Amino acid sequence: MSVPMLQLALDNKSLKDALATTRILAKEVDVIEAGTILCCAEGMQAVRCLKSLYPERIVLADIKAADAGSILASMVYDNGADWMTVICCAPIATVKTALAEAKARTEKDGKERDVQVELTGSWTWEEAAAWKEAGIRQVVYHRGRDAQAAGQGWGAEDLEKIEKLCSMGFDLSITGGLVVEDLPFFKAFPIKVFIAGRSIRDAKDPVAAAREFKKACAAHWK
């Protein structure tokens, strides 16, 4: 199995705070996420700024688009995002129109753009089959921030869903209040990306925290 990538989620309330974090952490991670909170606070300026400062990193705009797929996808890609998210409850038309924008740009300049379906909240296996049919390759398996705060942990039910999503051929990102000790729980699966925000950003030593994540990925996915 390939070693999973590490994505740093920047759910900061200001671009200034986000950039204070990336200044010390950008070179420690593979993917830099303009988090939902940062995108709401600062808009496309955040995406544009992150890609122009870190062109060698994958930049993900976690906008969790629910509608207007074509317009929102054009906005994030034209501001430098490589990947974006569409929320799982979005109509399939939104998934398809966002994906069409990604594909058009990839075909034009050869640089990969992609759409991830964000699995926060309710979704069905019929919908998952429709995403696959539409050409979606990546999904984000997400324990929502609020669900986590309300006490939701990781469990056997998550592993069953993750196994089924993998067997359908999706590449998975895993996220939601992850701490480095959580990683071995997922080690049976070919996880593409682990996404961490608070446990790295708010650590006493964020660089050491990011390195611990990388070390755990290398140790458990050989």
Residue 37 appears among annotated catalytic residues: yes
Q: Which does 4 bind (CB under 5 to 8 A by kind): Mg ion, ligand 5RP, none?
A: none
Binder of Mg ion out of 4, 35, 69, 80 (CB under 5 A): 35
Neighbouring CB atoms inside 10 A of 117's CB total: 26
Binder of Mg ion out of 4, 6, 7, 9 (CB under 5 A): 9
* Identity of the residue, 69 or 176, whose beta carbon is nearer to Mg ion in the bound complex: 176
Closest listed residue to residue 196, CA positions, set 128, 148, 131, 138: 148
Per-residue exposure over 169-186, b if at least 16 CB sit within 10 Å of its own CB, e if not: ebbbbbbbbbebebbebb
Q: Which are the contacts of 211, defined by CB distance < 8 A and separation ≥ 6?
A: 28
Of residues 176-205, which lie at the interface with Mg ion (CB under 5 A)?
none
Of residues 43-62, which lie at the interface with Mg ion (CB under 5 A)?
62
Residue 113 appears among annotated catalytic residues: no
Phi/psi of residue 10, each to 5°?
Answer: -100, 85
Binder of ligand 5RP out of 6, 25, 34, 35 (CB under 6 A): 35
Chain positions contacting ligand 5RP, by CB under 6 A:
9, 11, 35-36, 62, 145, 175-178, 195-199
